[in-house]
Structure 1
């Protein structure tokens, strides 16, 4: 199913790792590098989080919107971000030009396998859609919840990436031919959480 990429409506209010936690991890007891450490937290989080992240997951609670062009034959719409906390709305534009919101009883999210799917009831009366790639709009809240709800391996990976960025200020060290090595532990920590991209 050819789909438009999802877009984030509401960004997380906080990062999975606080500045205080990162400073404790780095054994930094002064405020001189707070901006630098905060930038490292943001960069490490962005590497993992959201549609552009390597995991295909949302970490802290955030709102996403996706579009589909038609009702799938099996009435199953894979969602790009996991985990899904709730679906705010499913709306569509009809061939007559009307905007219709499906009742909450017309759909549910199946997420037991880790790849969330919006299941539209086989008994729901679905209108004929306008011919457009964004005829159906699905708005949902994704993420594990609050920072404390983000799995410990992912929070640990962020801290390790922050440590790498704090220790190495450049991508290559003076007098060393190879690039600065990053921790292979990060890859091992995040590997179980990687998802295949929904296309």
Structure 2
């Protein structure tokens, strides 16, 4: 049975980079191009953030649901994003269609602040019977560096601002008179490299 992809429950309440920070980086004083700058910030963040981002990380605090079709034999669940701030709940869907909440005393979060957060179920704990369904187990967790932008690692904030700068300056993928595509900043790759998660 194929696993379902994680699902965003609650989006971040604050942006990674404010419009004021982006204006300062771009040396733009007026608000006339705020719509363009806001779109560039959103595109840069989307490239890095969440399940669809290339980092495999959540940047600002956000809630996600992860689905499992069965209890893992190892009693260990690799969480889809890092860092993980907390596990909100674990729910089990039974064969009768009813959903029950698993006792929080039966599991714990390990390595939440690192690149490989895991949910471990105690060996002696009783886990409810499950329905035959791809969403038989629902793990809801909060991920990200925090609710305030100042919690974001400076390297990631700088990478976002550099991408915003590229998107602002180069409105097309090629320049008139140039024979090749506009190169994006290689500094971005170097800044984000230590934060990329690789699944083995």
| TM tier, smaller | over 0.9
Is 1:153 equivalent to 2:155 in the alignment?
yes
Ranges in structure 2 where 5+ consecutive residues have no aligned partner: none
Report the equivalent of 2:120: 119
Distance 1:132 1:59 in 2: 31
Task: Please show how residues 14-53 of structure 1 align to structure 2 within 5 Å.
Answer: 14-53=14-53
TM-score in terms of structure 2 length: 0.95
Root mean square deviation of aligned Cα: 1.4
TM-score in terms of structure 1 length: 0.96
The runs of at least 4 aligned residues of structure 1 exceeding 4 Å deviation read: none
Q: Deviation of residue 95 (structure 1)?
A: 2.5
Report the equivalent of 1:133: 134
Report the equivalent of 2:185: 183
Distance 1:29 1:113 in 2: 39
Distance 1:102 1:56 in 2: 27
Shift in alpha-carbon separation, 1:142–1:113, aligned structure 2, 3 A: closer
| Paired residue secondary structure (2:191) | helix
Are the equivalent residues in 2 in contact too, given 1:56–1:197 (CA < 8 A)?
A: no
| Paired residue secondary structure (2:158) | helix
Are the equivalent residues in 1 in contact too, given 2:12–2:61 (CA < 8 A)?
A: yes
Ranges in structure 1 where 5+ consecutive residues have no aligned partner: none
Shift in alpha-carbon separation, 1:20–1:113, aligned structure 2, 3 A: closer
- How many residue pairs get aligned? The number is 198
Distance 1:74 1:166 in 2: 48
Q: Deviation of residue 40 (structure 1)?
A: 0.5
Q: Deviation of residue 197 (structure 1)?
A: 4.4
